Structure 1
Amino acid sequence: MVAAAMALRRGPCHRMLRLAGARGGLPWPGLGGGRAAAAGWGRPGPGGEVQYCAELVRKRDYEGFLCSLLLPAECRISAFALRAFNVELAQIKDSITQKTTGLMRMQFWREAVEDIYCDNPPHQPVATELWRAVKRHNLTKMWFMKIIDEREKNLDDRAYCNIQELEMYAENTQSALLYLTLEMLGVRDIHADHAASHIGKAQGIVTCLRATPYHCTRQKVFLPMDICMLTKHLVSISAAAKYRRVLLDSLSLVTPTCLPSHSFHMSECCREERATAWSFTRGFHKRQAREKCKRCNL
């Protein structure tokens, strides 16, 4: 993931996105302003919440940062707030040594969301900017709570029982984040919601696969147990750690068959979700065309 991010930073795609960000009025070309700038965002002054959220997303979710730059300028700041909220929750699990600490931090964000919808956000930069996004776009509270509840249940270090459980986790986290993004963009369409659901599931499966090498370094495996326990996909922690480059490079040459076949099975599930999501976009575009014709009295 880091290598891919660095490649994007050096490539023409990154230069194009810098230009897009500049045209949209976002002061993000200065986000990489060195150690002093990063330290300044650690304690943002008045009006510094936007820069804090943008820097947090840039450091912890660089792909999400790039995607946010492609959104309309009027929605970009809110997108950073949503992504920053997701980053804050996602990094709790890896930053704690006791589950009790994680539960306390989850409870802080649960109460923060409650206070946000009571127009009394806590004095925390992400929460403050999230409150502005909620007021600006009338976002649904339920999706925030679903993300928090699912992240809280995931604090336990245990593998998913099956691929369906992994998809359910992705639905309540990645898909819920996409639902909020659609609301932020003013898109309220059943076809778009269906597409977001399947895209979120696909993203969750891909994230689980990509994180496997990192989890192996910590002697943990979170791959679905129903796939791991199959004889043809038998995976041990030692084997996963030894051959983790297979998952990083997506190569299956001169390697044991256990990990490539396991990855292939999960990749097929991801591809099915993506294909299903793509099928729903056709209905969404048709509906947009019909509405445009109505507005033009055609």
Structure 2
Amino acid sequence: MRGGEQSFRSLLLVILLLFSGFSLFISYPSFAATAAEDDRPPSLESLQNIEAGGEEKQEVGFQVRVEAQKEAALSYGLRGGLAWRTNEINKRLGRFSDPLSRTYDFRQLLMSAPGGVYVEPPVIEEQLEALQIADQGQSAALTDKVLTISANARLVTTARDWRNYLIRDWGKPESPPDVLLPKTDEERKNWKEWVKEGWKSGIEQADDTFAEDMARLSRDFTGMVRYRKLLAQAIVSAPYAGLVERGVTGGGLEMRIGDRAVTITGPAQLKNQSDVWRPISISQPQ
């Protein structure tokens, strides 16, 4: 199973490398737009060139206006960059849909439960070569391996999907109020610079979010695979799901016939009785 964990890490590395290279040449979008692209997030240029649609009805102090305009432009650019970059990431992920679905196949990890539902395995994290200093540096605890159940088993009707982790949609950024949009050449110049600055921050935020989502996906899937391995070795117990037949319940305006309840009454537990552990035999290829 360790080879399987290595393959997960390898796929993660390949995807992150692809996206890091991707960022070198798509940090800014093409400004050519067609009618078929109306649903795409707006480009940097369109955010930079936005103008007020009518007369400004309320005068504000010059310095107050500059500061408010800067905040609006930075926020507008950030939200635009975040939405645009996320859309590009989603498109790139679509090209990796098949290998991602094969690698992160949560369906194979589900366990049957009464009542037609499934038990999703717990997530078990592993830390190797753990060291803990105690007693103000007077003692140290050294551990070869630390196992932690970071997420308990739960009842589900369907398996998770990598898209639940990686696909995001921020929608199109809402335009700032007309009163804050640029009206003079000087304001237009400043507006473009501020929007560009915010746009860069938005792209960085989208990339950071994707990296975090990818790490969370890999952690959860690897943790569930680790649980199945440890279960086969009798190092962890299986969660127990019980079915209770409640017959006819309710009444009045609503009544349920053949009502049943499924509950996890015994969560998975790590077993410290090492004498009952058993090794997994792995056949070697001929």
TM-score category of the 2 structures, normalised to the smaller one: under 0.3
- Which structure: larger Rg? 2
Question: Scaled by the length of structure 1, what TM-score is found?
Answer: 0.21
Q: Between Structure 1 and Structure 2, which shows a larger proportion of strand residues?
A: 2
Structure of higher RCO (CA pairs closer than 8 Å, 6+ residues apart): 2
Question: Scaled by the length of structure 2, what TM-score is found?
Answer: 0.21
Q: Between Structure 1 and Structure 2, which shows a larger proportion of helix residues?
A: 1
